[in-house]
Chains A and B, each alone.
Chain A
C-alpha cells in the first residue's frame, strides 16, 4: 500500500491513472444513462430541471477532464518510456504529483454531488450546472448564486495544474530521454502524437487557466471581466474558452490516432503506410487547431469576415485528417490482417471517425451551422468524434497493451462481445441524434414537446446508450477476471515491432536490462532492409539504480484542494493553510535526499 502511495514508477502511475480514469468513465457513463432515461420520452422519468442541468454539466466535464484525458495519460505514462527506450519519465516525482492532483481534483469536483448541506442549499447536490463550457454571464454570481459554479471553476483549475505538469514532463521526456539512435523520425507514431498532444496541453491550458482566474475574480472579488452590467463582455469568455476548447478536442483525439497508428501495422503485418505523412499531418492538425476556435461561436454574430476566416480554416483541417484516414487504409491494404479485438476497435475507430469528421464539415460551413449549433445534430457529431473516435481508439489501446501492462491476456471472446455491443449501441444511440437535431431538438433540455416528432428517435438513442452501458460492464468484467489468472502473457504476444515489446510483460521496474541502441523504426521486425534487433539480456549485466518513492508529491498535491475548499467557503485561513502545505511540500520535495 505504502509503495503505491509513494510510487514514482511510471508504470505504477500509469496503472493508477488507468483505474482512476476508468472509474470516472463509469461515473460519467452513469450520468449519461440518467440523461438518456429522462429523454426517452417527452415527459421523462421525473428528473428535475436543476438536476438534469447538473447531470449534463458533470457528464461533459467528467468525460473530458476525468475520463478521456487521463485514460490517454495512463498510456502516456505506461507506454511512452518503454517505447522510447527509457527507464522512466524525465521527472518521476512530478509525474506522481500530476496523478495525485488529478485524483484530488476529480474527487473535489464530484464532492459537489453531496456537499449541499454544508452550504445550507436545502438539497444534497450542488454540482456544477452551467454546462461544461460555463458560458458567461450565466456563471456570474447574479445568475448562479450557489456554490455550484465555484466547484466547477476551482476543480478545473486544479485539474489544469495536473495537465500542465504532465505536459511539461512528457515533452521533456520524449525530447531528451530517447534511447541512442531513436531519432525523431524513428519515434513510434504513438510517441509522436503524444508529443504533439503535450505541446497542445502546455499551450492551451494556460488560456483556460487565465479565463478561470478572471471568472474567479468576477465571482469572488466582484470584478466585471465578463459582466456587461459593469462594462465587461460575456463574449470574451467564449473566445478564451474555445481558444482552449478547440485545441482540447485535438488533445482528446490525437492520442487515439496514435494508438490506431500502432495497432493497424501490428495486426496487418505491414509498416505504417506513409509514416512521415501521418506524423506531419498530426503536426498540421495541431497548428490549424489553434486557428479555428470561433467556429464554436458562429451564432454569436461575429460578422461575415470573421465567420469566413474561421469557416475556411476549419475546412482546411479536413485535409490532414483525411490524409491520415487514407494512410490507415493504405496500411491495411495488402496486409495479413488478424482480427483481434484490438484491431476491430481500431477499424471501428476509422469507420466511425469518418462519420464524425464529415458531419463536422457540415458545421464548418458557418451558415449551415446556424441551424445545427446547440442542437442534437452537434451532439451526434461530438459523440461520433469523441466516442466513435477517442473511446474506440482507447479501447483498441487497452486490448493492445493490456498484456504489457498486467502480464495477462484479456479474453478475445468477451472482447468481441464488447466490440459488437459497443458498435451497435453507439450507432443506435448517436445516429438518430442527427435527425432529432435537424427536426429542431436543441441540446441541454430536460424535456421537449411531443409535437416536435422526435420522441421515436430519442427512444432509439436511449436503447443504444444502455447497450453501450452493458458493453462497458462486459469490458469491466473482462479486465477484472484477468486478475485471478496467472501471469502468462509473453513479451511480444502480437508480434509487434516497437521497443515496449522487447521486454517482459509486465516489465521489470527498471524496464530495460540494457538500454537498446535503435537503428530503425521497426526494431523488432524483419524487413527488406534490416533484421530484428538482438534480444536484450535476461538479467542486467550491471546493477541498475532505481530511485525510491516519495511522499512529497502527494502531500504537495493535497495543498491544492485545501486551498480550493477555503475559496469555496470564502474562508481565508483555510486558503493559507493549503498554500502553506503546498509551499512546504515543494520545499521538502526540492531538498529531498536522492535516496530514501
Chain B
C-alpha cells in the first residue's frame, strides 16, 4: 500500500515531462538516495495517517448532520480510554519515524572515508568557486567529478550565507563565512546534474546556479590534465591576440586571473573559461552572443552582478570575446 502511494507520487511528477535535472525524487548518489528512502518511508506513514484522520472527519460530518426531529445529542464530555489511545498511537508511529531518522542523521553527517577526493566550495555573490586541493586545480560554477568515487566537500563563503544544493546527488548544506561545513557523497552514474543556491543571498539569489558533470575516471583525468595546462596563448596577429592586449589593459585584470596576465581573485578564474558550457553562475549558455552581452553590461542580464558594465565596443569587444572563447 505505501509503495502504491509513492508510485502514485512519482507518476504524478513524471506526467509533467522530464528529465527533472534538479529533482530530489531522482537520486543518483548514496547520500541523496538515503534521504530519498527515508522521505518515502515517512511519506508513506503520513499518507496512511492522512487517510485515516480525513476519513474519520468526513464520516463525522456526513453522519451527524442536523436533521429535524432528531433528539438533542448526548452531552459527552470526553472518554479517558480514547484519549490515552490517541495519544499513544501517534507516539508509536513516531518511533518508526524517529529511529531511521537518527540513524540517517549519523550516517549522513558529512564524514567521507579515507582517500576520498577533496573538493573545496567557496560561495560568492552569485557564483561558485571550486578548488581541488589534492589536484592543484580550481574552476567555477561547473563542478567535474569522477563517477563511483567518494567525494569530500568542504565549504565556506566569501561573503553572505549561501547553500550548496545538488538535489540528485546530495542534501543541501549552508556555506558560512568563518566556518567550514561538510558533506560527503559518492555519485553512482555519469551525467549532468543541476543545482543552485538554496539560501537567500541577495539580488541574484535566483541566478546562482551550478552544474555537476559526473564522468568516467578517464574523462575526469583528461579534464584535470586540461585544467592544469597553461592557458592557450593566441597566435601573433590574430583577433584573439588583439583581445588579449585589450584584456591586459582593461579593468578585467582587476578581478580575474589568467595565468601570465593577471592574478586577481575577485571574480572567477578565466584560464579555461572557453571550455565551460555556461556563463555567469551557470545561468546562460556560453555563446558568443551571451558573452558579448555579459561583458558589455553584466548587471543588465544578471541583476546586482558585481562586474560593472565594460566600456568596450565593436571590434574591441569582438576581440575580447574571441580571446576568452579561445581559452578552452
Interface residues of A (CB under 8 A from B): 48-50, 53, 130-131, 135-138, 143-144, 228-229, 233-235, 268-271, 273-277, 299-301, 303-304, 307-308, 311-312, 315-316, 318-319, 322-323, 325-327, 329-330, 332-339, 347, 350-351, 354-355, 358-359, 361-362, 365-368, 370-375, 435, 438-449, 451-454, 456-457, 525, 527-528
Contact = CB atoms under 8 A, between A and B. Distances in A.
Interface in B187-221: 194, 196-207, 209
Contacts of A301: 110, 173-174, 176, 179, 181-182
Interface stretch (B59-67, B113-121, B315-323): B59-67
Given A438-B25, A439-B22, A453-B18, A329 B57 contact: yes
Contacts of B203: 49-50, 53
Interface in B47-102: 49-50, 53-54, 56-57, 60-61, 64-67, 70, 72-79, 82-83, 86-87, 89-91, 94, 97-98, 101-102
Given A235-B179, A362-B46, 14 more contacts: A143-B160, A234-B178, A268-B73, A273-B76, A273-B78, A299-B171, A315-B97, A322-B86, A334-B76, A337-B65, A337-B66, A374-B172, A438-B24, A444-B200
List 6 A-B pairs, minimum CB-CB distance, nearest first.
A370-B171, A440-B22, A228-B178, A445-B206, A49-B303, A301-B181
B132 interface: no
Interface string B103-138: 011101110000000000000010000000000000
B43 A362 contact: yes
B204 A354 contact: no
Contacts of B16: 435, 439, 453-454, 456-457
B108 A354 contact: no
Looking at A48, A335, A372, A444, the one whose CB has the most chain B CB atoms below 10 A away is A335
30 contacts: A49-B203, A53-B203, A53-B205, A137-B161, A138-B161, A143-B125, A271-B77, A273-B76, A274-B79, A301-B176, A308-B101, A319-B94, A322-B89, A323-B90, A330-B82, A332-B61, A339-B65, A361-B97, A367-B34, A367-B105, A370-B108, A370-B172, A371-B172, A438-B23, A438-B24, A439-B20, A442-B196, A445-B205, A446-B206, A453-B20
A347 B108 CA distance: 40
Contact of B102 (A308, A336, A446): A308
A553 to B, nearest CB: 38
A274 B77 CA distance: 6
Nearest to B101: A365
B275 interface: no
A115 to B, nearest CB: 19
B303 A333 contact: no
Contact of B109 (A229, A276, A303, A336): A303
Interface in B1-57: 12-13, 16-25, 32, 34-36, 38-39, 42-43, 45-46, 49-50, 53-54, 56-57
A527 B86 CA distance: 26
Contact of A300 (B67, B87, B91, B174): B174
Given A332-B60, A336-B64, A440-B167, A135 B105 contact: no
Interface of B: 12-13, 16-25, 32, 34-36, 38-39, 42-43, 45-46, 49-50, 53-54, 56-57, 60-61, 64-67, 70, 72-79, 82-83, 86-87, 89-91, 94, 97-98, 101-102, 104-106, 108-110, 125, 159-161, 163, 165, 167, 171-174, 176-179, 181-182, 194, 196-207, 209, 303-304
Given A315-B98, A373-B198, A361 B73 contact: no
B57 A350 contact: yes
Given A274-B83, A323-B83, A447-B207, A329 B76 contact: no
A15 B21 CA distance: 51
A370 B170 CA distance: 8
A319 B42 contact: no
B206 A435 contact: no
B160 A50 contact: no
A359 B39 CA distance: 11
Contacts of A229: 177-178
Nearest to B88: A319
A320 B174 CA distance: 32
B77 A275 contact: yes
Given A300-B176, A323-B87, A371 B24 contact: yes
Contacts of A143: 125, 159-160, 202
Contacts of B87: 319, 322-323
